[in-house]
Chain A
Amino acid sequence: AQSVSQHNHHVILSEAASLELGCNYSYGGTVNLFWYVQYPGQHLQLLLKYFSGDPLVKGIKGFEAEFIKSKFSFNLRKPSVQWSDTAEYFCAVNANQAGTALIFGKGTTLSVSS
């Protein structure tokens, strides 16, 4: 069965620190990979996505993620976090087939102190 594992439940950082959130997935076929973010009291929003091509993808607000196929990983990075990055982050995967549902990880809460 497909699954997504996020390594960290809660990450606490100071402003300007670098961020890396781990995500590994389990699936035998071709996948699409996503990172979503949920700011306090707001909608789930798409941060970035990988469908094919360059394994290093850039998203909104300075976030990027690298797809490493051999490691089944899709880690999220940001060189310098801001207080406004405080949010919950979800990694998700679906099969590269139209209409398939997303499988989500359990989420990582990021708290950034100013």
Chain B
Amino acid sequence: DVKVTQSSRYLVKRTGEKVFLECVQDMDHENMFWYRQDPGLGLRLIYFSYDVKMKEKGDIPEGYSVSREKKERFSLILESASTNQTSMYLCASSKTTGQGSYEQYFGPGTRLTVT
């Protein structure tokens, strides 16, 4: 069964802390994505990666960075957390070729609160 897992369901951090959000997929997918979900704004793309060590900025990359050292793992890093980064963070993955390409599978999300 398709599975994307995220390290925490809920996280509370203080302003200025460095925050790591981890995402792991077990489907051998090439592509991985980080979105943030805010009420009334839908999901917005932060960063994505189409291969190990490759990354591309999405629509709202400011204040975030990412790391992809292994194919199955994609980390989102908040270098210095701020209150406007309080949000739900969703990780997704997809494969590049074959049946089912383009379709993204989502993790359960991490609800981050920055105080």
Contact = CB atoms under 8 A, between A and B. Distances in A.
Contacts, number: 56
B40 A9 contact: yes
A36 B92 CA distance: 13
Interface residues of A, number: 26
Given A98-B97, A99-B30, A106-B42, A51 B107 contact: no
A101 B95 CA distance: 12
A107 B58 contact: no
A106 B40 contact: yes
Nearest to B90: A44
Given A32-B102, A49-B103, A99 B96 contact: yes
Interface string A32-52: 101010000011111001010
A90 interface: yes
Given A98-B97, A99-B30, A46 B102 contact: no
Interface string B96-114: 1100011110111100000
Most buried by B among A32, A49, A101, A105: A101
A29 to B, nearest CB: 13
A18 interface: no
B94 A90 contact: no
Contacts of B104: 102
Interface of B: 30-31, 33, 35, 40-45, 48, 50, 58, 90, 92, 94-97, 101-104, 106-109
Interface of A: 4, 9, 32, 34, 36, 42-46, 49, 51, 90, 92, 94, 96, 98-107
